[in-house]
Chains A and B, each alone.
Chain A
Amino acid sequence: MGKNILIVDDEPDMCWVVSQIIQSQGLNVVTAYTGEDACFKLSKGDFSVVFLDAKLPDMDGLDVARRIHAIVKERPLVVLVSGYHYRDDPIVRNAQEEGLICCFLAKPFSNEELIGILISLSC
């Protein structure tokens, strides 16, 4: 795909960890710490995948997904990264069915899990 990957999380250490894993696969990353910043960066449309934290200080991860769904033409694949939801959480299932997100990655995760997602998204 060749495009950048956006990491959205208000916790800098979390961004650092995810960046390290993605960069180890030879991919480029950009980070955003707020929902607003994420929407701004995504609106330019040059990201293939976004790793989106479920709870951001200014808005919910799913709200960010909903917004980009509405405004961005070339939509990135959205991976919801969350410590707030549980596995099989109906909120996550609904978001997947709605097409807002394509994957769910539960915190804490193994690095292989994250890499597996990257591969499945053919990054």
Chain B
Amino acid sequence: MSENPIKSSFQIQYEMLLNAIPSSVLMVDRKLQILSVNENFLIKSQRSKDTTVGRHLADVFPLVILQSTCIEESIRNVFNSSIAVKGQKMTYRAPGVPLRIYYYSILPIQSDQIILIMEDVTEQFRLSEEVRRVERHLASIVESASDIVLSTDIDGRVLTWNSAAEKLSGLKTQDVYGRYFFDFCDANQKQMVEQIFQRMKTSNAAHTTEFNLLTPSNSGTILISWVFSPMKDDYSKTVGTVVVGRDLAERLKLELQLRQSQKLTALGVMAGGIAHEIRNPLAICSSAAQFLQEDRIPDEFQKECAKKIQTNIQKASAIIENLLRFARSSLDTEMIEVDLISVLKETIDLVTNQAKVQKIKIHLSLQKSSVVVSGVPGLLQQVFMNIFLNAINAMPTGGVLSITVNSVEDRVIVRIIDTGVGIPAGELDKIFDPFHTSSPVGQGTGLGLSICYSIIRQHLGSIQAESRLGQGAAIIVTLPLL
């Protein structure tokens, strides 16, 4: 009798301990009979102790669970081998009981029993499912994007490379993984890209740039607009770089088309002047040729007629030559050494006809006879053509168009000044906006100066306007000297 109180005290402590465990704990004997359970199991399975303890495992667990987990077989194996089974998954589905997910372990203990411990991981499982879903969602965003999205480690070695990157470059993820991203850039831009990665290590700001990406499959390159952003961990430490790139081919194509169509508009504006200037030499040639058809003409007169025909054909031809050069040149995109003065003079030749019919005098004032910049001659000519034609349009009753060229330090400044109607103060900051026009509907596209702006920006220069209403306008183009 003296042992009973001690035993029951143990019993009490044992049950307290068992009930304190936040997992379901069952003691099972070799016959798969449940010897004891803790409260956690009873609550989760919504059973009472009476209908559980002393019953066979098969009476307590739903058949479907026993079949799917083969838990009876596992328990017998543990009895036979004395080796524990750990971390098995069990989905507990029973009538009237919410679905739970458990990880269970079967541990052999002495006295011919095993402990079945079932840890409820429903919540963790739901969370990790959620995390996986979010991850899948994010991954599919990156994969579905039509822009290049890639990530690198802190030194610029590629870690991820989305399908747009694969499609545009023709390089598979396995071709680029672990390799320096700048190895896939145009050789002469490599160093610049390497420096961006260096900067990312200490910078908090994104860096925007444009450079070519190699496309080894066709041994070419494509121009991409890039945004580099430092990738931070939870402690704001930079761990890598995220690089997003957009193919500029489509934009470039559109820009080219726009520039070309705007050029045709400029040609339309000049049509009157061109007609006059070409018909004059044609009329002279025509009449001189008719003189030559007459009988008994003096030798001297004959020579004079022939000379006039030749001179005037050359005159007409020079006008056509200039026009053709202007109309076609937007196809060149290569930056070369350009003498800005020759570009200006050629452009002045083109607008001279139009200026003449509008009684406009053109003055070109130069500091030097040649000023070399890096540029695309055709594009620079388009810029000056647009500015000149705007100036000419601003002087419907005649005036003076002055062009001055000055070199200051490492820049060249071209001022184009007219004596026309001027630009109202409120309009001055809008004149470089696309589709902004002061011309009546149908007479101006409003693209001329916006195209000038984009071309000059491409040449790393700047363009500004100064004006007072009624007192003419000045457009100032600044370009870096070579």
Residues of B within 8 A of A109 (CB): 283, 286-287
Between A14, A17, A20, the greatest number of chain B beta carbons within 10 A of the residue's beta carbon is seen for A17
Contacts of B434 in A (CB 8 A): none
Closest to A110 in B: B290
Inter-chain contact A16/B283, CB cutoff 8 Å: no
Chain B, interface residues (CB within 8 Å), range: 20 to 34
B280 touches A83 (CB 8 A): yes
A111's nearest neighbour on chain B, judged by CB, is B290
Contact A13 B284 (CB under 8 A): yes
Q: Are A20 and B308 in contact (CB under 8 A)?
A: no
If over half of B's interface residues share one DSSP class (helix, strand or loop), that class is named, otherwise mixed; here it is helix
For residue B286, which residues in chain A have a CB less than 8 angstroms away from its CB? Answer: 108-110
Chain B residue nearest to A109 in the complex (CB)? B283
Interface size band for A: 20 to 34
Q: Is the CB of B272 within 8 A of A17?
A: no
- Residues facing A in B9-36 (CB within 8 A) are none
Among A14, A58, A82, contact of B284 (Cβ-Cβ < 8 Å): A14
Contacts of B100 in A (CB 8 A): none
> Which B277-331 residues have a C-beta within 8 angstroms of A?
277-288, 290-291, 308, 311-312
A108 CA to B280 CA in the complex, in Å? 7
A residues within 8 A CB of B359?
57-59
Residues of A within 8 A of B279 (CB): 83-84, 106-108
Least CB distance, A33 to chain B, in whole angstroms: 13
A57 to B272, CA, bound (A): 15
Task: Tell whether A17 pairs with B283 under 8 Å between CB atoms, given A55-B356, A58-B359, A111-B291.
Answer: yes
B284 contacts A17, CB within 8 Å?
A: yes
Q: Is A37 an interface residue when CB atoms closer than 8 A count as contact?
A: no
Contact of A83 among B283, B285, B291, B356 (CB under 8 A): B283
Chain B residues with CB under 8 Å of chain A are: 272, 275-288, 290-291, 308, 311-312, 356-357, 359
> Which residue numbers of A lie inside 8 Å of B, CB to CB?
11, 13-14, 16-18, 20-21, 54-55, 57-59, 82-84, 106-111
| Seed contacts A83-B277, A109-B287, A111-B290; 9 additional CB < 8 Å A-B pairs | A14-B280, A21-B287, A83-B276, A83-B279, A83-B280, A107-B282, A108-B279, A108-B285, A111-B291
A-B CB contact pairs (8 Å), 20 listed: A13-B308, A13-B311, A14-B283, A16-B284, A17-B283, A17-B287, A17-B308, A21-B287, A57-B359, A82-B276, A83-B278, A84-B275, A84-B276, A84-B357, A107-B279, A107-B282, A108-B285, A108-B287, A109-B286, A109-B287
